Amino acid sequence: MTADVNAAGHLTIGGCDVVSLAEMYGTPLYLYDEHTIREMCRAFVDGFASEYPDSHISYSSKAFATPALALILEDEHVGMDVVTGGELAVARAAEFPAADLNFHGNNKGLAELDEALDYGVGLITVDSMFEINLLDEAARMKGKTQQVLLRVSPSIDGHTHLLTSTGVLDQKFGFPIETGQAEEAVKHALSKANLDVAGIHFHLGSPLFELEPYTQAIPYVLEFVAQMREHGFNQRIFSPGGGFAIGYVSETPPPEVSDYAGAISASVQEACDRFGLDEPRLILEPGRAIVGRAGVALYSVGGIKDIPGVRKYVSVDGGMGDNIRPVLYGAGYSAVKANGLTEPVAGAVTIAGKYCESGDLLVKDAQLPSLDTGDLLAIAASGAYCLSMASNYNMSLRPAVVLVNDGEARLIRRRETYDDLLAQSIL
């Protein structure tokens, strides 16, 4: 990230003084560094292309989605995965190329499938027999043949948080291979006249700090693909999902993009050679890894409560309403005093949110300089799964979002207003 400190001791991102931005746009405020987003797009595109030339990067928009981001992705030759009609609407608002869209999700409704078919979405990943039947009928009614991937479950543990592990057997996602249900799904989908079964998809979970789950799952799934040739299945596309980790705290560094690319590509190539398969087009789905480090959350300090011998709480004007990950997953973050970056550490504090939940704690035992009401705190690596899971709990307003680059700041999402909150209410 283009983070730095200026002569005033203030944090700068993208050449912009974050204190000035907080004064201009208010807090809580989310900043996205365009340089970092583009840097990560290129790292994935180039990293995988060097190891596996027929590869394609498709950004997982559930991590964070805005039309402004979609335009950057298109410019960097990165596709988009969407999982709802709302995420598709973001892509459509940016006039994102339909051929580079993959519609995921485990329970897409008829209206969503119709929207995808009407827009000409390139791929739809199906996740149940119901969805196979529904999509086939929807495509038939429109006189179309839709290219699809089948999502399977390899029953392999991605060694991540229970709530974000998606490759195990007892899981709502995918057709399990070991129970025979994946084979039945292949046969059923191949029988549908309006579906073109292009390949297989799986996803092990996120974030994955180890390479071994990929290298275990890929040959297992490709062996299954080889077995499905007896039913007439000819795979052209293979997607081992995403799940690529970022470093939230210094104690847990993730693998480099080149490490992921090398391990995944080699596993696909070796398995294809072993099972006599043509090498398919490889689709990877990073989300967190592209935008996670690019985002910084800014908060203003309010009340400070020091319980002697117990803990010092520093309350800020955001919290679980804009970042639920610490509450939901026990996620760890680091924080800095944005208006006093060079000041010496004074001790440990716990950064607490403003919401009516005792668990609304953003960072525990953060080593920070002396803090007063009105100071500005910045929490790094807040670009993924924060705003995308934000809520209006306590009827709070979701924050504004500003894109920074080369000393310029641009508002890409305005702060919500009370009128926004009440717009759908009926007396």
Q: List, for residues 59-99, the tens digit of each pLDDT value.
A: 999 999 999 999 999 999 999 999 999 999 999 999 999 99
| The predicted structure's pLDDT at residue 225 | 98
Q: Let me know whether 192 and 314 are in one domain.
A: no
CA distance 15 to 305: 34
What pLDDT is attached to residue 165?
Answer: 44
> Of the candidates 257, 274, 291, which is a domain's last residue?
291
In this predicted structure, the answer to whether residue 286 has a pLDDT above a threshold of 80 is yes
Question: How far is Cα 259 from Cα 203, in angstroms, rounded to an integer?
Answer: 18
Pairing of strands 55-60, 79-82: parallel
Per the structure, the count of domains in the chain is 2
Q: Which residues are catalytic?
A: 356
pLDDT in tens, 299-323: 999 999 999 999 999 999 999 999 9
Q: Which of 247, 274, 291 is the last residue of a domain?
A: 291
- Confidence grade of residue 194 (pLDDT, cut at 50, 70, 90): very high
Q: Which residues contact 275 (CB under 8 A, 6 or more apart)?
A: 222, 223, 225, 226
How would residue 173 be classed by pLDDT, with cut points 50, 70 and 90?
confident
Q: Tell me whether residue 427 is in a domain.
A: no
The residue among 274, 291, 308 that closes a domain is: 291
- Which has the minimum average pLDDT: 56-60, 208-212, 383-387? 208-212
Q: Are residues 400 and 333 in the same domain?
A: yes
User: Do 171 and 216 reside in the same domain of the chain?
Assistant: yes
Q: Kindly state whether residues 76 and 109 are assigned to the same domain.
A: yes
pTM of the model: 0.95
pLDDT tens digits, 86-137: 999 999 999 999 999 999 999 999 999 999 999 999 999 999 999 999 999 9
CB of 219 closer than 8 Å to CB of 274: yes
